[in-house]
Amino acid sequence: MTMNERARAVLRGNDRGGYTIPTDGLYPYQWNWDSAFSALGFATFDRARAWEELEKLFEAQWPNGMVPHIIFRADEPGYFPGPSIWQADMGPMPSSGISQPPVVASVIRALAEAEPEQAAGFIKRIDAWHEWWHRARDPKGTGVIAITHPWESGRDNLPDWDRPGDMIDVSGVGEYTRSDTSLVDNDMRPEKQDYDRYLALVYFGRERQWDPEKIAVENPFFVADPGITSILLRAEKDLHVLARGAGHETARIEDRITRLENGLELLWNEDAGGYVARDMRSGDQSRRASAASFLPLYAGILTHKEELLTTLREFAERVRYLVPSFDPRDEHFDHIRYWRGPAWAMINFMIANGLRDIGEYNWADRIRSDTRELIRNGGFAEYFSPIDGRGCGGGTFSWTAAIWLAWELDE
Ligand code: GLC
């Protein structure tokens, strides 16, 4: 089988009937941004299936506009924490009570060129979701979007969440059995202290019926994320193109774009050489750059372009494969532990496309070819060591296969 054939087989194999799971066993439900990237992969060989994926994602949209991070369609007793722990039944079907990086508008814009009418059918629903991000996760209008749970960032155990996480009281968490560590090597997964915090935040949210207003005020964890903020800004710009093309009113979208463009500077950290998380309770900033530090470029923000390219060069001196998820010069860097160092195909895709769009072709090509080599050698793994290139975490992973196809890495 060619790599392209294998990639298609991974997506088909993870298809559960109109929606795609990230990988069997470890992640047996529909995850939000995984699903959006899967649609991008399907679009290269089955357009109808790509649109179906996106429809299925929005089927779970809450009345308040939120599109949840996990949709619990089938019952999978092997997964923890499942629907009975989340108790988030505010939407049309069981789901988690938080969201995930809003890449959907950007995916739909990519599909819209060939099928503008299909795309137009999503504009209102995307608009409601984007509006939710501003209202629920930036109620004071600072222009930066906060996450209320590390899982909401999509970058679960990034060291940026360590210090803000100290404020989380884990005394009520009690005993529990994780399912992930029996499926994947312990060294590659978040640690127990992280997991205690993840659960404490789930209990906190469910006690408030996942009410975003209460959560914005009371949640012990409310941390502005350069990842979500940049991905949303890029998505707002893509939504703007879709809305204008379909003849919709765009003033509201323009306001949101301006707010985010002005806000991002709050996350700039000169010493780190990048955009970093900011704890919105204490005002503290993270001290080190991460892969998300480069995403403002993907959102078209060029204010600190030169400094960011310097940081990227420094990263490149320390690792064989770009882009490590966390600064490889830091003591917390760990090349195989999830978001504390490893490289991820879909993050590379966004960073490289951003660099290409601003004319940084050499860097864009370097990241693309690193990604190709990682996947060729390491397989369709969940993520990769940026040091030795080994494939880590789960295997036969949807978004890695999708990026292989969407980026035409076979050429
Ligand atoms: C992990 C990742 C997250 C992803 C999910 C399913 O939680 O951190 O980004 O969406 O797994 O693949």
Is residue 22 in contact with ligand 1, taking CB distance under 6 Å?
yes
Residues written for the chain? 411
Angle of CA points 371, 377, 382, to nearest 5°: 65
- Contact (Cβ atoms closer than 8 angstroms) between residue 299 and residue 234: yes
User: Measured between alpha carbons, how far is 215 from 135 in angstroms, rounded to an integer?
Assistant: 12
Consecutive H or E run containing 306: helix 305-318
Is residue 370 in contact with ligand 1, taking CB distance under 6 Å?
no
Nearest to 382 by CA among 345, 411, 333, 335: 345
DSSP classification of residue 291: G
DSSP classification of residue 407: T
Nearest to 37 by CA among 385, 399, 379, 376: 399
Nearest to 110 by CA among 356, 406, 348: 406
Residue nearest to atom 4 of ligand 1 (CA): 154
Which among 14, 20, 26, 27 is the best mutation to test ligand 1's pocket, defined by most ligand atoms within 8 Å of the CB? Answer: 27
Q: Which atom of ligand 1 is nearest to the CA of 382?
A: 12
From residue 299, how far is each of 4, 11, 88, 233, 303 by CA, in Å? 29, 28, 32, 6, 11
pLDDT tens digit at each of 411 positions of the chain: 999 999 999 999 999 999 999 999 999 999 999 999 999 999 999 999 999 999 999 999 999 999 999 999 988 989 999 999 999 999 999 999 999 999 999 999 999 999 999 999 999 999 999 999 999 999 999 999 999 999 999 999 999 999 999 999 999 999 999 999 999 999 999 999 999 999 999 999 999 999 999 999 999 999 999 999 999 999 999 999 999 999 999 999 999 999 999 999 999 999 999 999 999 999 999 999 999 999 999 999 999 999 999 999 999 999 999 999 999 999 999 999 999 999 999 999 999 999 999 999 999 999 999 999 999 999 999 999 999 999 999 999 999 999 999 999 885
- Contact (Cβ atoms closer than 8 angstroms) between residue 255 and residue 122: no
Is residue 397 in contact with ligand 1, taking CB distance under 6 Å?
no
Is residue 154 in contact with ligand 1, taking CB distance under 6 Å?
yes
Distance 155 CA to ligand 1 centre (A): 7
Q: Is the pTM of this model over 0.85?
A: yes
**How do 146-147 and 223-224 pair as beta strands?**
antiparallel
Distance 189 CA to ligand 1 centre (A): 11
- Contact (Cβ atoms closer than 8 angstroms) between residue 178 and residue 250: no
Distance 154 CA to ligand 1 centre (A): 6
Which positions ≥6 away from 96 have C-beta within 8 Å? Answer: 68, 69, 70, 72, 86, 88, 151
Q: Locate all alpha helices (DSSP H) within 174-225, ordered by sequence.
A: 180-183, 192-207, 212-218
Q: Which atom of ligand 1 is nearest to the CA of 33?
A: 10
Residue nearest to atom 3 of ligand 1 (CA): 154
Question: Catalytic positions, please?
Answer: 156, 382
What does the block give as tokens for 320?
A: 């064989």
User: Measured between alpha carbons, how far is 324 from 321 in angstroms, rounded to an integer?
Assistant: 7
Which among 31, 98, 155, 189 is the best mutation to test ligand 1's pocket, defined by most ligand atoms within 8 Å of the CB? Answer: 31
- Contact (Cβ atoms closer than 8 angstroms) between residue 296 and residue 307: no
Nearest to 371 by CA among 400, 336, 341: 400
Q: Which atom of ligand 1 is nearest to the CA of 155?
A: 8
Nearest to 152 by CA among 257, 31, 288, 323: 31
Q: Which atom of ligand 1 is nearest to the CA of 397?
A: 12
Residue nearest to atom 9 of ligand 1 (CA): 154
Which among 23, 156, 201 is the best mutation to test ligand 1's pocket, defined by most ligand atoms within 8 Å of the CB? Answer: 156
